[in-house]
Chain A
Amino acid sequence: MGVEPWVVLAFSAVIFFIGFTGVLIRRNILVVLMSIELMLNAVNLTFVTFSKQLQHMGGQMSVFFVITVAAAESAVGLGLVIAMFRTLRSVDTDQIQFLKE
């Protein structure tokens, strides 16, 4: 009765690569930011699993700090999205091509 630790770690790796794929294939910058949140969550689950398995609390403390950084990152990222929309009237990453001019 129970789940092997590597199954939980493999599950978080699957979620990480789903988020990674999302960053690569999507052009809507909001969905790209959501995929980054998915990857951060997968890393948090890895931390919690190792914390449980190694019986060390450092993993859960790391998760606390990762959550803080994720909140700060999404606040600044969405500010950038608003600035981008104000300039370009679009949330499409393909429209960012000022260096071409």
Chain B
Amino acid sequence: MNISPYFFYGFGGIAIACSLLVILKKNPVSSAFSLVMVFFSFAGIYALLDAHLIAALQIFVYAGAIMVLFVFVIMLLNADVPSFDLGRTHLGMRAVAGVLISMILALFIWAFKKTPLTPAIAQFSSENIEAAGGNTLVVSELMFSEYILPFELTSVLLLAAIVGAVAIAKRKLATGRF
């Protein structure tokens, strides 16, 4: 693909390092801020891949809304006690799990390498998108024409999520258990 390798490997290196920090840091606040860096690197890679609307949404929704929610809950619960004990599992089991995960990962990479990726119809080639007014315009027109039903259904999903979150978080626990 015709993207700059320096930017891709830069953003990719930052993303891999910070996602390792997310799962290895003991303190959840450190994990949350490493996750913000991962989201910003992903937004950079989306922009490299000409998905400008997705890159902007990634910043707004993930690095903005979702991370604020996470940090707010961490602050609210005041539960930033370090919790990380890998040491309770058996050493042999850990080795087996590591080998299995590496094998599945190698299988994925092998499959990705072998899959032929030739476009069937070049309706949305880079030149056509550029001529039609850019990525955001093309995606928006598709969203309100071909994908209008799933787009409207997401509003039902968001309403259900709002009602569900309020109902779960506000429940009076008079009976004791969940």
Complex CA distance for A17 and B58, rounded to whole angstroms: 20
For residue A11, which residue of chain B has the nearest CB? Answer: B12
Residues A72 and B19 in contact, CB atoms below 8 Å apart = no
Question: A64 to nearest B CB, angstroms?
Answer: 7
Q: Which residues of B contact A13 (CB under 8 A)?
A: 105, 108-109, 112
Residues A48 and B46 in contact, CB atoms below 8 Å apart = yes
23 residue pairs A–B, Cβ–Cβ below 8 Å:
A1-B4, A5-B1, A5-B117, A9-B109, A13-B105, A17-B104, A18-B22, A21-B101, A25-B23, A34-B22, A34-B35, A41-B62, A52-B49, A52-B50, A52-B51, A55-B124, A60-B51, A68-B154, A70-B61, A75-B69, A82-B76, A82-B77, A83-B168
Complex CA distance for A91 and B73, rounded to whole angstroms: 11
Residues B139 and A18 in contact, CB atoms below 8 Å apart = no
Question: 1/0 per residue B8-41: CB within 8 Å of A?
Answer: 1000100110011011000010011001001100
Range of interface residues on A (Cβ < 8 Å): 35 or more
Picked from A1, A18, A28, A90, the residue with its CB within 8 Å of the CB of B19 is A18
Count, A-B residue pairs, CB within 8 A: 224
Q: Which residues of A contact B61 (CB under 8 A)?
A: 67, 70-71
For residue A16, which residue of chain B has the nearest CB? Answer: B108
Which residues of A10-25 are within 8 A (CB) of B?
Answer: 10-11, 13-15, 17-22, 24-25
Residues A85 and B77 in contact, CB atoms below 8 Å apart = yes
Complex CA distance for A31 and B32, rounded to whole angstroms: 8
For residue A63, which residue of chain B has the nearest CB? Answer: B54
Range of interface residues on B (Cβ < 8 Å): 35 or more
Q: Which residues of A contact B104 (CB under 8 A)?
A: 17
Question: 1/0 per residue A28-49: CB within 8 Å of B?
Answer: 1011011101100100110011
Residues B23 and A18 in contact, CB atoms below 8 Å apart = yes
Question: 1/0 per residue A60-82: CB within 8 Å of B?
Answer: 11011101111111111011111
Question: A65 to nearest B CB, angstroms?
Answer: 6
Q: Does B91 interact with chain A (Cβ within 8 Å)?
A: no
Which residues of B121-178 are within 8 A (CB) of A?
Answer: 121-125, 135, 138-139, 142-143, 147, 150, 154, 157-158, 160-162, 164-166, 168-169, 171, 173, 176-178
Complex CA distance for A80 and B50, rounded to whole angstroms: 37
Picked from B62, B76, B77, B84, the residue with its CB within 8 Å of the CB of A26 is B84
Residues A56 and B58 in contact, CB atoms below 8 Å apart = no
Residues A33 and B50 in contact, CB atoms below 8 Å apart = no
Complex CA distance for A8 and B117, rounded to whole angstroms: 13
Residues A83 and B12 in contact, CB atoms below 8 Å apart = no
